[in-house]
Structure 1
């Protein structure tokens, strides 16, 4: 969702005080901070391959500006959905349900998540992969990890991104996404990528940027891992509560459920 309330609502603003596991102090000179962070990352199991992704990294002032200008989700629900649950997205979503029916059926059989929920998230997040973001994930996360607003969170996310590179799912150059470091067609945080991304097309890589089967299955795996069970997902259900794990914004949760319902109702 391009760095909005998934980031804002996920955690309280972190203190600049470092934890024992993440000892790199925030703020100050960025070039001096990087070697300290590299030592911490090495201690967290990041190999030389992952650490090399930080070589030559610079701060991105655009990321800092966007991080301080987030009020997009504090609007009335009807205003929120007017720009997101659109007739065009619904039409494309129904097309995606048909085009990927076989994959979605296999995903539902394995993870218990209704196809329309996965497609609704896919459409809401990136217009079905069309708008994933083009910024360097490593640079964006390094900028936010050095910043003193949510230091602890973004240092963890940066370490997770380096582990993705370590594993070989992506090179640093190919690991591009939204301004706050979200990755792929359903905008996974790096830590969620490490935990929940799956290789559903069987090519040996977890590719949430280009592989639709990996995207759909990984999205379902995240939901199931947080308690999703086959069944209803409207407001008041247990599955609706699981959507809180996808996005902390109640507007966003309601919009996903509404989007999914309209996909199958034809409205």
Structure 2
């Protein structure tokens, strides 16, 4: 789930009263900021021992800041974006996966109302159906971006959410590897969305959006359902469900691509 999505987790919104320390625009002050954040862990409703263990070796990442400053995908036209991200092989693979997981998709649609082609389109577009989830340490990325002044409050909220994931034992810090901006799992949830919408669909006691396909697909459907997905209705431009897809990603080229991919996977495109 790309960085343009602005997801707020109400009970963890960052206020000046609980700000750990001043932000910075370079690595010099990061260690002091990190240590202050750890010291203030309790103010965020976090277990200080969990935060200390998770963040004590986290370092500032110049790579993450550089990537944050150079986002270009959404400057493309729809035609350019679609050509860059989608091909016929992806559509065929989505159709095959729809058949392979037909029972799971049917169960998910009964529960959440979201049809398989839409989930498959998101799955394919985000990570090529789990083929590449990113391999950057999520806590390091989020700590760097929380410290960086450009969007400090937003990413501090994401960092707190990521630590909640660790605290409730859905994943360990070492397991939390993802995209450069901290997106996690096979459909690239922001940490705040993970906390709010991830479900344990395989009932193994943890919400695992990296390894558990049932958790991944059901959580994606749950997100859309909670955003207002209308069961049994179309998802093309001008529909209520198309507006729900905009909750997944604000970039118009991305939403249009999901919609068209889903139609093609369903055999209607």
CA contact (8 A) 1:24 1:40 kept: no
Using the TM superposition, give the Cα deviation of residue 204 of structure 1 relative to its aligned residue in structure 2, in angstroms. Answer: 0.5
Q: Distance in 1 between matches of 2:51 and 2:105?
A: 33
How many residue pairs are counted as aligned between the two chains? 258
Residue of structure 1 in register with 2:43 after alignment:
43
Given the alignment of the two structures, is residue 19 of structure 1 paired with residue 6 of structure 2, yes or no?
Answer: no
Given the alignment of the two structures, is residue 265 of structure 1 paired with residue 261 of structure 2, yes or no?
Answer: no
Residue of structure 1 in register with 2:10 after alignment:
none
SS in 2 for 1:30: helix
Residue of structure 2 in register with 1:89 after alignment:
90
Cα deviations across residues 160-213 of structure 1 (Å, max 9, x unaligned)? 001100000111111111110000000000000000000000100100000000
Which runs of 5 or more structure 1 residues have no equivalent in the other structure? 12-16
Equivalent residues in 2 for 1:140-179 (5 A)? 140-179=141-180
Residue of structure 2 in register with 1:180 after alignment:
181
Given the alignment of the two structures, is residue 109 of structure 1 paired with residue 110 of structure 2, yes or no?
Answer: yes
Q: Distance in 2 between matches of 1:8 and 1:107?
A: 27
Given the alignment of the two structures, is residue 247 of structure 1 paired with residue 249 of structure 2, yes or no?
Answer: yes
CA contact (8 A) 2:4 2:249 kept: no
Using the TM superposition, give the Cα deviation of residue 232 of structure 1 relative to its aligned residue in structure 2, in angstroms. Answer: 0.9
Residue of structure 2 in register with 1:14 after alignment:
none
1:10 to 6, 9, 19: 6
Q: Distance in 2 between matches of 1:266 and 1:220?
A: 21
CA, structure 1 residues 41+70, in 2 after alignment: closer, same or farther (shift >3 Å)?
Answer: same
Q: Distance in 2 between matches of 1:125 and 1:143?
A: 23
CA, structure 1 residues 188+100, in 2 after alignment: closer, same or farther (shift >3 Å)?
Answer: same
Which runs of 5 or more structure 2 residues have no equivalent in the other structure? 8-13
Residue of structure 2 in register with 1:211 after alignment:
212
Using the TM superposition, give the Cα deviation of residue 257 of structure 1 relative to its aligned residue in structure 2, in angstroms. Answer: 0.4
TM-score by length of 2: 0.92
Q: Distance in 2 between matches of 1:87 and 1:109?
A: 29
Using the TM superposition, give the Cα deviation of residue 45 of structure 1 relative to its aligned residue in structure 2, in angstroms. Answer: 1.0
CA, structure 1 residues 65+218, in 2 after alignment: closer, same or farther (shift >3 Å)?
Answer: same
Q: Distance in 2 between matches of 1:41 and 1:251?
A: 39
Q: Distance in 2 between matches of 1:40 and 1:185?
A: 32
CA, structure 1 residues 243+41, in 2 after alignment: closer, same or farther (shift >3 Å)?
Answer: farther
CA contact (8 A) 2:5 2:248 kept: no
Residue of structure 1 in register with 2:11 after alignment:
none
Q: Distance in 2 between matches of 1:55 and 1:42?
A: 16
| Superposed CA RMSD | 1.6
Residue of structure 2 in register with 1:32 after alignment:
32
